[in-house]
Amino acid sequence: MPPKLVRPAPPYLQIADTIRTRISNGELQSGDRVPSVRALMRDYGVAIATAQRALTSLRAEGYIRPERGVGSIVTTEDERGRAANDRVDKSRRTGKVYPTGQYAKITHAALDKASEQVADALGLEIGSAVIRRVRVTYRADDKPVSASTSYFKGELAELAPQLLSTDRIREGTFAYVASTLKRTIDAWQDQFEPAAATADQAAELGLDEGDLILVGRNWIYDDTGDVLEYGESITYGRVTYRGRLGD
């Protein structure tokens, strides 16, 4: 039989493997800061998207997590264990089911320019084209209780045109994107923290500026560590989401 060629792994996987090894052998301990995107770009001579993808892959695997004002830090062994248990095929989810009396509307779906935070989450340059979808959830009396914005890479405008429609996507946005790109959904990450509502946030939810709200960020990853969907949300009061997993 002819010999098999062993091709080198993609650069982002080589970088991720190097950092993963440093964590596994104890060189990087829980709470230690890992190299930033700019540091990886400088040290390895790679593009911003490659450096971002390496860190995204490690976040998806539970090895690192974002820390406000610091960057990305090494997780504890317990956190890594929970992340491993959470790594299920999310593509089987049927979508969000809202509590009795609540309903949601897609109020905006169009191309936009990526802010610094959105560009960082999706591994893009600031100002790059992104698809922005806004969903508002209402109570039975039509009072809004939460608002969430999902972002997708602008290149999907032609590949996945339903993202630019305010009609509901039956299988869910991330499953639709994964199916379009023939990818497998591998992991997700949700991050929430309390905050005082800004003037814009208060107006969106019908609150007073300074009222306590919950601010969320979430990432959906495919099996290559790439971010399929990035989301930001604001919520007040108690909001319950239920999902269903396949067998």
Query: For residue range 96-125, what is the model confidence (pLDDT) as tens digits?
Result: 555 556 788 999 999 999 999 999 989 899
Average pLDDT of span 44-57: 86
Q: What is the pTM (predicted TM-score) of this model?
A: 0.60
The whole-number pLDDT of residue 93 equals: 44
Tokens 């790109």 appear where?
181
Q: Would you say the C-alpha torsion 88, 159, 230, 43 has a positive or negative sign? A: positive
> Hey, which residues does 7 pair with through a beta bridge?
none
The whole-number pLDDT of residue 177 equals: 92
The whole-number pLDDT of residue 59 equals: 82
DSSP assigned state of 167? S
Tokens 């999907």 appear where?
156
The whole-number pLDDT of residue 230 equals: 94
pLDDT top residue among 227 and 238: 227
Q: How far is CA 161 from CA 105, 152, 164, 165, 177, in A?
A: 18, 12, 6, 7, 10
The whole-number pLDDT of residue 116 equals: 92
Q: Residue 8 pLDDT more than 90?
A: no
Are the C-beta atoms of 124 and 114 separated by less than 8 Å? yes
User: What are the pLDDT digits (tens) for 130-183?
Assistant: 999 999 988 888 888 889 999 999 999 999 999 999 998 887 898 899 889 998
Note the helical H segments in the chain.
11-24, 37-44, 48-61, 77-86, 116-122, 156-159, 173-181, 199-205
